Structure 1
Amino acid sequence: MQPATRSIAVAGPASAALRHRSARTATTPFVCLGCRSVQRRQQQHRRPFSGTVSTQTDLRSGLTKLTSRRLISVSGPDASKFLQGVITNNIDAPHNANGFYTGFLTAQGRVVHDVIIYPDELGPEPGKRSFLIEVDANEAMTLHKHIKRYKLRSKFNLKLLDPEERALYHAWNDVDQSGPWSKLIDEIQKDGNPRTVPDPRVPAFGSRVIVNQTSSSSSLTDNDLTPESSYHLRRFLLGIPEGQSEIISGSALPLESNMDVMNGIDFRKGCYVGQELTIRTKHRGVVRKRILPCILYSEGAAPEIPADGPGQLEALEKLLKPEVDEGVKAEMIPQGASIDKVDKKSRSAPGKWLRGIGNVGLALCRLEVMTDTVLPGETPGMYSPEQDFVVSLGGGEGSEVEAKKLKVKAFVPFWLKDVWRIEAEKAEEERRMREELLGERESDVE
């Protein structure tokens, strides 16, 4: 919950201003400059959403302008070579030609920024490869400085684009491919040298549309578009984390943040910053935690999660509420709040809350504890359908808000189960081929 703010009068006699300042000083505790900067950064990460939950039509088909994202232009002879050495994906892979999801890591393998990179045919240097990097709007300047710091003698130009230069939209349509949203997409693309790219993370999520605002003659206004909160709700229900308020910069691991299952990591490319830990975790470790969608509720039995399949999202919409309880929303839960078992304290919390809206959100969950997922090489047994999990709301010490607890139901989205099934089938096929090859060699020896 955001603390209440007090307006400060800027006009009036000097004595009144001094009295007002003295009153503030007497009631407001001292906060050092370092702590103020941390608080300011946390408040930036908590971008407010709309207070209303969108209708089913908004979640099943829509077009929204992504003000929560910014674009950075990278162009020049060394642009491709530089990016290849600092991102987790392969910029030269043929399947990444239209755009791809990737991330910047620390040397210890922690995520700094998750981004989507697009080739830019309208780059400032004709004949040379140019790219657009889509990043969290609150982190755009930080990423700009990060790239500039490691540029050294590489020959490329770097520019943080103004939203008035390039506009970024997201479109989705699960209902009617010839419906009104298709016409709106045609409208925003009018004379704007548009680029429409299927979202590279999850095929069912929708498409990105990049429009050159300087040449576009579109007459669309914000009132013609879907609220951006509908985009975030859809993203939460599909379990797609985005930005550094959900993939915490400097602490989140790429595999726990679903970057591997969202096509964000190429495990066969050459060296890049943070590769060693990422590759080791993939081939020698087990990913026990993942960012998953969660439904919040206050009393009674946990909500029934719809069956797997493309229709799961439509069924989940019926569970959406603008509030969990009267006056209580997911936005009131502080980032990083521990998710614990009801009446049971574990040595380590099974989950950690990240972000939400209404009665849904995302959390980093321990798979074998909070879901019925069976990890590779292990047997089921830790998960119990009867076990409830709770998360506490933020508030002052001893306040009623602090004592309030909400129940949490985590679930694995259908697309993630499909990815795991395909990976298991591939692993089984590889195992079978190795056994056949070993049998042939033994026969040859005999």
Structure 2
Amino acid sequence: MAFPIWKGLVRTTPTVAPIAHRALLSITGSQSTEFLNGLLATSVNGSPRHRYSAFLHAQGRVMYDTFLYTTAGGYILEYDAKALEHSPEVTPLLSYLKRHVLRSKVKIRPVTEEYDVWSSWGSSQDHEWETPRHWHFEQSGSIEPIWPEDGLWPWGSTECVIHDRRGVGMGRRLLARKGDPPPVAATHDLAGIDEYLLHRLTKGVPEGAKDIIPMQAFPMESNLDVMGAIDFRKGCYVGQELTVRTYHTGAIRKRILPIAIELANPQAQSSPLSFPTNIDIKPSAIDIKPAGPRPRGSGKLLSTHNGLGLALLRLEHVAGWEKGILRLEFENDGVKWKVSPWRPEWWPQQPVEEIST
């Protein structure tokens, strides 16, 4: 069920908006496919295809989430240009890739000054390719999308256009020549950068270093499994060992979820526009004498806009909030705010028979 605060905020008309702070690298050469397959967390083999994926650190933490566009001459890799601002210890992606080229027949060059990245949603062409979602649930809490084997490639095949399958209703991701709007601007409303942010917040989709903090975030806690960025059955790639071990024998205790943000004290004078990231979201028992131990740990505030946001939350805290026995709050500039998480309409629902077995 959609959270009530959505009403009046979400655009329902065909919309196209630029996506800020994205960098692009061109990767070409006869061995570019094999090169990327050894580094990305999804399989890159056979004929070149669009996909969403991630680069992981050797210890299993996320460095970059990325879109991979196929072109006539190879690939274009899209990633967050401001990753270093959120995590100075992360290796710049261009340097990281060049370190692994060795003698491979691969050429890498920046093309950020040649293209802009856009998102379009709301029209039939932005969702007519959607298919019903099916999921595989692992005992660890990992969740994988199951794409139809006899259908079209889920991420699309048109050059410079990706079907954004990270969440239902996300629309399409587009590359357009620098300074020029994409062709769909003729049929879509042209919106600002904040409209795209609000769009993905309502869909519960984390993106970039502000939400998936480099060298800190784990892939499943950041929903990369749900969004189709991890292949748990491919061969060796950087970060694979810990990721697959967690998938089979670990336990996912945190997830990024969308949240509504309201004043804890309705009489206080303040407006929830946006907040710094990484603020602690702390749980507290509503009952004065709660049964059981006090809740442990805290969550982290991520992207926010207009009273909506994303947060990395402990699932036990979310369960306590849903049962009405915990409140979730954070403090900013001396003002307390309450947090109300929810699961997007498209979020995987495990069949009852699978839960009971």
Shift in Å, 1:202:
1.9
Cα deviation code 1:3-25 (max 9, x no counterpart): xxxxxxxxxxxxxxxxxxxxxxx
2:59 paired residue number:
108
Cα RMSD, aligned residues only: 3.5
Structure 1 partner of 2:121: 172
How far apart are residue 264 of structure 1 and its match?
0.7
Which of 348, 354, 370 is matched with 2:318 structurally? 370
Find the counterpart in structure 2 of residue 329 from structure 1: 272
- Counterpart residue type for residue 146 of structure 1: Y
Residues 1:360 and 2:325 are matched in the alignment = no
Residue aligning to 1:64 = 17
**Alpha-carbon distance in 1 for matches of 2:180, 2:202:** 36
Judged with a 3 Å threshold, the aligned counterparts in structure 2 of structure 1 residues 411 and 371 are, in CA distance, closer, same or farther, namely farther
Identity %: 31
The correspondence of residues 115-264 of structure 1 with structure 2, limited to 5 A, is 115-121=66-72, 123=73, 130-139=74-83, 142-163=92-113, 165-173=114-122, 177=124, 195-213=160-178, 225-264=190-229
For residue 116 of structure 2, give the secondary structure of its aligned residue in structure 1.
strand
Aligned with 2:340 (options 384, 398, 409): 409
- Tell me whether 270-279 or 97-106 shows the greater mean CA deviation: 97-106
In structure 2, C-alpha distance between the alignment counterparts of 1:214 and 1:392, rounded to whole Å:
40
- Report the AA paired with residue 61 of structure 1: P
Instruction: Please tell me the residue identity of whatever aligns with 1:142.
Output: P
- CA positional deviation for 1:228: 1.4
Change in CA separation of 1:325 and 1:292 when aligned onto 2, cut-off 3 Å: farther
SS in 2 for 1:202: coil
In structure 2, distance between residues paired with 1:57 and 1:71: 29
Q: Distance in 2 between matches of 1:229 and 1:350?
A: 28
State the shift of 1:325 in Å: 6.6
CA distance in 1 between partners of 2:201 and 2:331 (Å):
20
Alignment CA distance shift 1:300-1:107 (3 Å): same
More relative contact order, 1 or 2 (CA 8 Å, 6+ apart): 2
The 1:289–1:58 alpha-carbon spacing in structure 2 relative to 1, beyond 3 Å, is same
**CA–CA separation in structure 2 for the residues paired with 1:70 and 1:206:** 20
Deviation at 1:227, TM superposition (A): 1.1
- In structure 1, the partner of 2:153 is none
Structure 1's unaligned 5+ residue stretches are: 1-52, 124-129, 180-192, 302-323, 373-381, 394-400, 432-446
Q: Give how far 1:225 is off.
A: 1.4
Q: CA–CA distance in 2 between the matches of 1:231 and 1:370?
A: 26
Cα distance change on mapping 1:371 and 1:268 into 2, 3 Å: same
One-letter amino acid matched to 2:79: V
Q: 1:369 to 1:282 in 2, by over 3 A?
A: same
In structure 2, the CA distance between the partners of 1:214 and 1:170, relative to structure 1 (3 Å rule), is closer
Instruction: Note closer, same or farther for the CA distance 1:160–1:54 as it changes in structure 2 (3 Å cut).
Output: farther
**TM-aligned CA distance change 1:219 to 1:273, over 3 Å:** closer
Partner residue in 1 for 2:256: 291
TM-score using structure 1 length: 0.61
- Corresponding pairs, count: 308
Match of 2:144 in 1: none
Give 5+ residue unaligned stretches, structure 2: 1-5, 85-90, 127-157, 287-292
Partner residue, 2:241: 276
TM-score in terms of structure 2 length: 0.76
Residues in 2 aligned to 1:407 and 1:152: alpha-carbon distance in whole angstroms: 51
Instruction: State yes or no: 1:338 paired with 2:289.
Output: no
Residue number among 299, 314, 318 corresponding to 1:351 in the alignment: 299
SS at match of 1:264: coil
